[in-house]
């Protein structure tokens, strides 16, 4: 068995090594214990035999550990099919080797990760699905998956698979793993971010939903991931996906005309001027096509995207809006990038015409941009100039939410946004102050409190 595994390990590319290392180390330790016992039984003087007495219990113990080692080796050979006709064609096997008797989940994860890395396509998809389920269950499973080298095979599957269902399962597994800074940093260190950005721009809508969710999750938990995504230009494709079909039904509206014109103009400028970063590298996102908020990315045509169900389109927009929200949170540079792609116009239009989670996510994104603008004069002057159509559209929608809607979860971020933008309003602007004063008597105390804070910002500005 040892010869079989050695031959297999030396001839198989892309070998999944952790279970082999664990088992071989345990077998080596057990053989050392057997050797110690054998040495005690050598022909020696009577006195030495008395001192080093070996009992039948010692032999039973040695027999047990030898049987355990044999069981571990058989499990390895079976899981890798090392002595089969197609050695290395890993199949999912959830049998438990003796080495994992105290932690059955370890062998389960080994089997799934080995299958993701070395199995056939159908089995790789099923194994990725099982890893996603295990990662969703509890943090201990997440920890084992990461420690046992599960991230690189999942990323490879996510990048290289041509089947949307396989990519979705791989992205889901990564999403469930990325729920704290340490694990997100591990994913980042495996060079995951360029892969995620590439897949986001070159996949079906179902895969893009999972990729956008993964962007949001990683940006939420790790500021390093937030910065890395920005360097890979992930904001532009997110804005493009968010603006898909946003302006189609409003050809006569001034905001719509300005939005379409601005998006086309800015994307032409970006494609012309941003081919290369200052460090000489070409971001993957620079190759994306942008056309009036509709992107024909990869091999998925405009017609194929238009034929998707309304539910899928809405879910993609919700995920993209949340990703933009997480990227903008606490980041002046990301907020600036978002405004440079004319994302403000798109966000304002969605706040105007949509409801539910999409409207909320867009409103929260606007709030984070406003907070960043409050602390950065350059961003404030560039994005919220008095004569800016984007700034006017945003303020109009914020005031509409405050005055016309009866939903504290929307009104509170709108009021916070107005307060953060206090320095951008001219002295003759009375509409904003009037709206805030009216909210002071609101029955919801949180709304009244936020209105008071926003008014205080206006007073400080004056």
pLDDT at 96 over 50: yes
8 Å CB contact between 221 and 181: yes
pLDDT at 269 over 70: no
Confidence at residue 131, expressed as pLDDT on a 0 to 100 scale? 95
Q: How far apart are CA 177 and CA 192, in angstroms?
A: 13
pLDDT at 364 over 70: yes
Find how far residue 235's CA is from the centre of its chain: 14
Residue 327's nearest CA partner among 315, 335, 317 is 335
**What is the mean pLDDT of the segment spanning 452-460?**
82
Which phi and psi (to 5°) does residue 179 adopt? -115, 10
CA distances to 356, 384, 422, 438 from 415, in Å: 18, 16, 11, 12
**What is the mean pLDDT of the segment spanning 142-161?**
95
Higher local confidence (pLDDT), 229 or 256 = 229
pTM to 2 decimal places: 0.81
pLDDT at 265 over 80: no
Range with lowest mean pLDDT among 269-278, 390-399, 449-458: 269-278
Q: How far apart are CA 81 and CA 330, in angstroms?
A: 51
Higher local confidence (pLDDT), 283 or 452 = 452
* Percentage of the residues of the chain whose pLDDT score is greater than 90: 50
**What is the mean pLDDT of the segment spanning 252-272?**
47
Q: What is the pLDDT of residues 5-31, one digit of tens each?
A: 666 666 666 788 899 899 989 989 989
Confidence at residue 426, expressed as pLDDT on a 0 to 100 scale? 76
How high does pLDDT run on average in the chain?
A: 82
Three-state SS letters, the chain? CHHHHHHHHHHCCCCCCHHHHHHHHHHHHHHHHHHHHHHHCCCCCHHHHHHCCCCHHHHHHHHHHHHHHHHHHHHHHHHHCCCCCCCCCECCCCCCCHHHCCCHHHHHHHHHHHHHHHECHHHHHHHHHHHHHHHHHCHHHHHHHHHCCCHHHHHHHHHHCCCHHHHHHHHHHHHHHCCCHHHHHHHHHCCHHHHHHHHHHCCCHHHHHHHHHHHHHHHHHCHHHHHHHHHCCCHHHHHHHHCCCCCCCCCCCHHHHHHHHHHHHHHHHHHHHCCCCCCCCCCHHHHCCCECCECCCCCCCHHHHHCCCHHHHHHHHHHHHHHHHHHHCCCHHHHHHHHHCCHHHHHHHHHHHCCHHHHHHHHHHHHHHHHHHHHCHHHHHHHCCCCCHHHHHHHHHHHHHHHHCCCHHHHHHHHHHHHHCHHHCCCCCCHHHHHHHHHCCCCCHHHHHHHHHHHHHHHHHC
Confidence at residue 200, expressed as pLDDT on a 0 to 100 scale? 94
**Confidence grade of residue 427 (pLDDT, cut at 50, 70, 90):** low
Higher local confidence (pLDDT), 334 or 84 = 334
Confidence at residue 187, expressed as pLDDT on a 0 to 100 scale? 97
Confidence at residue 76, expressed as pLDDT on a 0 to 100 scale? 84
Q: What is the pLDDT of residues 282-313, one digit of tens each?
A: 333 333 333 333 333 445 556 677 778 899 99
Residue 183's nearest CA partner among 174, 172, 170, 171 is 174
**What is the mean pLDDT of the segment spanning 45-72?**
76
Q: What is the pLDDT of residues 188-241, one digit of tens each?
A: 999 999 999 999 988 899 999 999 999 999 999 999 999 999 999 999 999 999
Instruction: List own/partner pairs for 136-139 with CB under 8 A and 24 or more apart.
Output: 136/176, 139/179, 139/180
Confidence at residue 292, expressed as pLDDT on a 0 to 100 scale? 34
Confidence at residue 248, expressed as pLDDT on a 0 to 100 scale? 56
**Confidence grade of residue 272 (pLDDT, cut at 50, 70, 90):** very low
Q: What is the pLDDT of residues 366-423, one digit of tens each?
A: 999 999 999 999 999 888 887 888 899 999 999 999 999 999 999 999 999 999 998 8
8 Å CB contact between 200 and 288: no
Confidence at residue 286, expressed as pLDDT on a 0 to 100 scale? 38
pLDDT at 457 over 90: no
Q: How far apart are CA 209 and CA 242, in angstroms?
A: 11
Determine if residue 405 is left, alpha or beta; phi over 0 gives left, psi from -120 to 50 gives alpha, anything else beta.
Answer: beta
CA dihedral 253, 255, 260, 265 (to 10 degrees): 140
**What is the mean pLDDT of the segment spanning 173-191?**
96
* Percentage of the residues of the chain whose pLDDT score is greater than 70: 78
Confidence at residue 214, expressed as pLDDT on a 0 to 100 scale? 97
Range with lowest mean pLDDT among 252-266, 280-294, 317-331, 426-440: 280-294
pLDDT at 159 over 70: yes
């Amino acid at each position: 068995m040892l010869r079989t595994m050695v031959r297999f390990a030396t001839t198989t590319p892309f070998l999944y090594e952790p279970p082999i290392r664990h088992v071989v180390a345990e077998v080596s330790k057990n053989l050392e214990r057997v050797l110690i016992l054998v040495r005690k039984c050598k022909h020696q003087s009577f006195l030495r035999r008395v001192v080093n007495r070996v009992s039948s219990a010692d032999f039973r113990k040695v027999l047990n550990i030898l049987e355990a080692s044999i069981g571990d080796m058989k499990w390895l050979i079976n899981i890798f099919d090392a002595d089969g006709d197609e050695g290395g064609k890993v199949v999912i096997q959830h049998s438990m080797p003796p080495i994992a008797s105290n932690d059955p989940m370890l062998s389960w994860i080994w089997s799934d990760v080995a299958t993701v890395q070395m199995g056939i396509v159908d089995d790789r998809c099923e194994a990725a699905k099982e890893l996603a389920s295990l990662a969703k269950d509890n943090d201990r499973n997440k920890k084992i998956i990461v420690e046992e080298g599960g991230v690189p095979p999942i990323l490879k599957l996510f990048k290289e698979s041509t089947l949307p269902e396989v990519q979705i399962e791989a992205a889901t597994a990564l999403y469930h793993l990325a729920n704290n800074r340490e694990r997100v940093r591990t994913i980042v260190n495996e060079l995951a971010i360029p892969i995620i950005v590439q897949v986001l721009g070159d996949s079906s809508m179902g895969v893009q939903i999972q990729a956008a969710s993964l962007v949001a999750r990683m940006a939420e938990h790790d500021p390093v991931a937030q910065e890395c995504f920005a360097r890979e230009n992930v904001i532009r494709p997110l804005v493009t996906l968010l603006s898909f079909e946003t302006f189609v039904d409003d050809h006569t509206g001034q905001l719509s005309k300005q939005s379409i014109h601005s998006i086309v103009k800015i994307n032409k400028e970006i494609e012309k001027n941003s081919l290369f970063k200052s460090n000489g590298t070409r971001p993957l996102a620079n190759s994306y096509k942008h056309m009036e908020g509709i992107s024909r990315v990869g091999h998925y045509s405009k017609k194929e995207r238009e034929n998707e169900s309304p539910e899928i389109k809405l879910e993609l927009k919700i995920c993209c809006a949340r990703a933009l929200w997480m990227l903008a949170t606490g980041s002046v540079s990301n907020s600036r990038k978002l405004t440079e792609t004319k994302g403000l116009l798109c966000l304002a239009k969605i706040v105007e015409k949509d409801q539910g989670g999409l409207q909320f996510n867009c409103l929260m994104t606007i709030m984070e941009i406003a907070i960043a603008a409050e602390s950065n004069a350059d961003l404030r002057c560039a994005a919220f100039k008095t004569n800016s159509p984007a700034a006017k559209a945003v303020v109009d929608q914020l005031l509409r939410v405050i005055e016309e809607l009866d939903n504290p979860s929307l009104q509170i971020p709108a009021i916070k946004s107005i307060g953060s933008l206090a320095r951008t309003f001219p002295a003759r602007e009375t509409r904003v102050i009037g709206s805030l004063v009216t909210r002071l008597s609101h029955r919801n105390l949180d709304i009244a409190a936020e209105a008071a804070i926003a008014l205080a910002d206006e007073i400080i500005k004056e």
